[in-house]
Structure formats: structure tokens, C-alpha cells
Amino acid sequence: MGLDEVGDLDFGFSEPHAAVDDCLHSGGVSSVVSPLLVGLYDAHKEYERSEESQPHYKNVICQQMTDLLSVSSQVTDREMITDVLVSLLRQSERDLKAAVAERLALIDNAPLRLLLQLLNEDISVAKPIIQKSKVLNDLDLLYIIQSRDTTFWQAIAERRNIKENVVDALADTHDLPTAKKLVANDTIHFSSFAMNILEGMARDNSELLRPLLLRPDVPEHVSRALYARVGQELSSAIKKKAEEVLDSKQVDEVENIVHDVIGEFSKDSKSFSYMPTDAMVRAADMFLRQGKLDARLMIRTLMRGQASSFVAQMSSYSGLSPNVVVSLVQQQNGQGLAVIARGCGISKQDFSNMFVLVRRVFDKTETVSPEHALKAHEYFDKITVEIARKILSRSQH
């Protein structure tokens, strides 16, 4: 049954009270259901009678509906009760419909026909059902996407664990508010179809681009493309600002630094040599002269995934050439990094954090082998400061 069909249903009741009367006198309602129907009848009459009492009787009606659906195990009872509730909702004000929708959204076996009646209302009534009801299946959601507007699409995008075909349909609307809701939903997975659409939309909208880049499931090639897009805007903005206060030589230096930083985020890791540029080395040397280059700065650099900048900083900090630093930190057992840390007075805690981050950045993996971690810590404890410094002195440039 489609959403557009619900409004044409006719159960022969001119008003909800007549529906209740008909059920009570039909003789087919169980003894458990009858008192609840009477209670619903009375509560609805009181709700209509006085505006002052509406908040109270609204809650009573919602509870009566919930109780009716929970005790009506017989098919005949359930169909009859659904007829009554649909008739009641047709005649009810929006405020009552919204309250009923909140309750029904949490009932796993709520009659679909009743939910569809509420989905014919505007989003202020339908939203909780769209977001939470487990009764709606993929076909129901796809029908809503095809037949309703962006407010309904956004509500679907906030559902937990929606399936790939529904996500694809939402992405295919190319609706920016819906795309933002999708990107913020950490319980869903994007197919390549949906990701391509979102990437294209993010290129033209920074409000979508930033949260998309923060998702852990974004493919690397998408991240690189988006970082390059960010870089173009950032580079232009920084250059414009620098030209206001710096001479042409200094502006060129700023441009080189910005270009290098952006390049670290947008380059393909498979072809990335990790060797720093001259601008990165000059920046590291400046930090060292100013007393700002320490283990914490290098750890923060690694946390951002800036491998080449880390190499430049470690080179300035240790006196080793970038080539030597790269060869040492790429050792998976951590011995080379342990030598640098010991010889430069880096604490064991900072070494431990640095080792994990180095492996993640250089190996492109979220996990570090327990065997390699154990060997790295054992070697750090074993090697003395004096021996580490002698090894470094023979390798320094």
C-alpha cells in the first residue's frame, strides 16, 4: 500500500466516536480490548471538550493507543483497532497527531497502515516515525524519497543503519541539506556511487567538505582530491593576506610553505617519498632557533599525518640528514627511532607515542604489531644515552 493510497481509505465511519461505537457493538472485540476502547472513547471526548484539559488527555489518548496495540494479539481485534485509530487520527488536530506519532515510532509492531496515515501529514508529525520506526522497510523509505520533499529526505538520512540502496537514493537527490545529514550519520556506509556524488557536491560547499573529510571511511583518493580543493582556496586567501603586510620575497616564502603543507595532505601516499622540501626544512630550523621544536610539536605533526614535515623537524632536532631520518624511522622494529629518542633526550612516553604514530603515518595502518612494539620498547630500555649519542654523532651532517 503506497502513501498516496491511505488518504482514500474509507471504513464507513463519519467520525472516530462512531468507529468506537461500531467496534463495541460488533460483538467481535475481546473482553481485554473493550475497556481500552471505552477509555479511548472517553479520553477523546474530553480532549475535544476543553482546550485546558488537552495536554492531559493527549497523554491519556497516546497511552490508550499504545495499550490497545500491545494487547490486541488476535488478527481481527488488531484490524478493527487499526480502523478505529486511523479514523480517530483523521479527525484529530496536528498536536495530537504529533504526540501519537512519537509513541508509535517506538512500537516495533505498530500497524503499517496507521503509520502511513501519519506519514501523509507534514514533517512536524511524520518526523519521529521516519527517523525511528522499525516497521518501515527499504521500499517504504524509497517511496518516501520519491514522493516527498527535502524535509522528509533529511529525516531518513538521520535514521540509524539505513541500507546502501536507500543511501544511494538520498545521495542521488543532490540535495545539500540531505547530504549534510548523511555525512553526519556515522552508522551508515557509502557506496562508490554515493561517495562520487558527495565528493562532487563537497567541492563546491565547504560546509559539506569539512565533515566529509573527517569521516574515517572516506577513500584516500577522495580525501586527496578534497584536500587539493581546500588547498586552492586556502592558498589564495593566505597569499592575499600576506601581500598586504609582506614584501614579495616573503610572500613567495609563505606560498611555498602553504604549498608544501597542502601537498602533504593531497599527495598519493603510494608515490610519496617523505623527503621534506627546502621550505619545510627552513620552517623546522626556525622552530628550533625559537625553542619551539620539541617532542610534543613533532607528535602533533604526526597526528595530522604530515610525514615530510615530521622528517624535517626530526632532522633539525637530531642533526641528522633527512635521508638518514627517513631510513631510521622506516624501521618497523623501532630501533632507529629509539636511537634518535635516546640520543636527543626524548622521554619513553613520548617515544612510545611517536613510535605508534610513525608506524601509522608511514605504513598507512591503524594497528601496530605487538611484536614490533615490544621490540621497540625493549631496545629503548636497553640502549644507553651515551651509546645512542655516539651512533648519532657518526651519522650527523
What pLDDT, in 10s, does the model give residues 146-192? 999 999 999 999 999 999 999 999 999 999 999 999 999 999 999 99
Q: Whole-angstrom Cα distance, residue 39 to residue 53? A: 16
Residue whose C-alpha is closest to residue 232's, from 252, 255, 211, 214: 255
Inter-helix orientation angle 307-318/322-329, to 10°: 110
Residue 298 is assigned to a structural domain of this protein: yes
- Final residue of a domain: which of 114, 134, 154? 134
Residue 156 is assigned to a structural domain of this protein: no
Q: Residue 31: CB partners within 8 Å, gap ≥ 6?
A: none
Arithmetic mean of pLDDT, 319-347: 90
> Band of the pLDDT at 362, cuts 50, 70, 90?
confident
Q: Are residues 123 and 62 in the same domain?
A: yes
Q: Are residues 315 and 384 in the same domain?
A: yes
Evaluate whether 358 touches 329 at the Cβ level (below 8 Å): yes
Q: Whole-angstrom Cα distance, residue 225 to residue 219? A: 10
| Burial of residue 213 (number of CB atoms within 10 Å: 0-12, 13-18, 19+) | middle
Residue whose C-alpha is closest to residue 65's, from 31, 93, 94, 88: 88
What the block records as the C-alpha cell of 307 is: 610525514
Residue 120 is assigned to a structural domain of this protein: yes
Type and span of the H or E element at 66: helix 54-71
Residue 184 is assigned to a structural domain of this protein: no
Residue 175 is assigned to a structural domain of this protein: no
Evaluate whether 65 touches 100 at the Cβ level (below 8 Å): yes
Arithmetic mean of pLDDT, 215-221: 79
Q: Are residues 343 and 257 in the same domain?
A: no
Q: Is the pLDDT of residue 271 over 60?
A: no
Q: Residue 247: CB partners within 8 Å, gap ≥ 6?
A: none
Q: Whole-angstrom Cα distance, residue 154 to residue 131? A: 9
Q: Report the 10 Å Cβ neighbour count for 138.
A: 13
Q: Are residues 4 and 130 in the same domain?
A: yes
Cell 610513525 maps to which residue? 358
Q: Domain range holding 116?
A: 1-134
Q: Which of the two residues, 369 and 226, has the higher pLDDT score?
A: 369
Q: Are residues 3 and 112 in the same domain?
A: yes
Q: Residue 124: CB partners within 8 Å, gap ≥ 6?
A: 94, 98
What pLDDT, in 10s, does the model give residues 300-316? 888 877 888 899 999 99
How many structural domains is the chain composed of? 3
Single-letter residue type at 120: N
Q: Are residues 266 and 336 in the same domain?
A: no
Q: Are residues 1 and 54 in the same domain?
A: yes
Arithmetic mean of pLDDT, 259-277: 60
Q: Report the 10 Å Cβ neighbour count for 184.
A: 13
Q: Report the 10 Å Cβ neighbour count for 194.
A: 20
- Final residue of a domain: which of 101, 134, 167? 134
Q: Is the pLDDT of residue 113 over 90?
A: no
CA distances from 212 to 123, 223, 268, 350 (A): 26, 9, 19, 31
Q: Are residues 66 and 22 in the same domain?
A: yes
What the block records as the C-alpha cell of 293 is: 621544536
Q: Whole-angstrom Cα distance, residue 131 to residue 115? A: 12
Residue 187 is assigned to a structural domain of this protein: no
Q: Is the pLDDT of residue 121 over 70?
A: yes
- Final residue of a domain: which of 216, 250, 271? 271
Q: Whole-angstrom Cα distance, residue 165 to residue 316? A: 52
Residue 70 is assigned to a structural domain of this protein: yes
Q: Are residues 267 and 346 in the same domain?
A: no
Q: Whole-angstrom Cα distance, residue 94 to residue 96? A: 5
Q: What is the pLDDT of residue 341?
A: 94
Residue 343 is assigned to a structural domain of this protein: yes
Q: Whole-angstrom Cα distance, residue 390 to residue 368? A: 29
Q: Are residues 34 and 7 in the same domain?
A: yes
Q: Are residues 245 and 315 in the same domain?
A: no
Q: Which of the two residues, 181 and 263, has the higher pLDDT score?
A: 181
Helix or strand or coil: residue 336?
A: helix
pTM confidence score:
0.53
Q: Residue 37: CB partners within 8 Å, gap ≥ 6?
A: 20, 23, 24, 29, 68, 81, 84
Q: What is the DSSP string of 169-214?
A: HHHTTT-HHHHHHHHH-TT----HHHHHHHHHHHTT-HHHHHHHHH
What pLDDT, in 10s, does the model give residues 70-89? 666 555 567 777 777 787 77
Q: Are residues 306 and 249 in the same domain?
A: no
Q: Residue 145: CB partners within 8 Å, gap ≥ 6?
A: 152, 153, 156, 166, 169, 170, 173
